[in-house]
Structure 1
Amino acid sequence: MSTAVVWRKSSYSGSDADSCVEITVRPDAVLVRDSKAMDGPQLAVPVQAWEAFIGFAATGA
């Protein structure tokens, strides 16, 4: 089993790879980082809170 972390960026980030927010999903949290600081700090958001955030963002409110 691979232990490599796979980071994803939003399709809304465009083609400029160094100006976006990236996420990776773990069983207990979604990690968020700045693509310009790949070795920098990461924000850990509980999965339920992330799902609520995405649901709210999808409404466009």
Structure 2
Amino acid sequence: MFKILKSETGFNIIYDSFEVTRREIFEFIEIWYNCRRIHSRLEYMAPEQFGNSFIKQAA
């Protein structure tokens, strides 16, 4: 996870404070990494895409 965090967010960013750093990391994980990043276990789709296709198939 740390390798992805470094490569995807730009490792040489200097944040103003610990709180700003914490917020940026949280947003990266919760908004991008967990929701939009493709995953091999989900047939190379983002979780949102996979969930939508699962709902369409069930209907």
Query: Do these two structures clear the TM 0.5 threshold for a shared fold by scoring above it?
Result: no
Return the structure number with greater strand share: 1
* TM-score (ref. length: structure 1): 0.31
Q: Which protein is richer in helix relative to its size?
A: 2
Q: Which has the higher contact order (CA 8 A, sep 6+)?
A: 1
TM-score by length of 2: 0.32
**Structure possessing the higher radius of gyration over alpha carbons:** 2
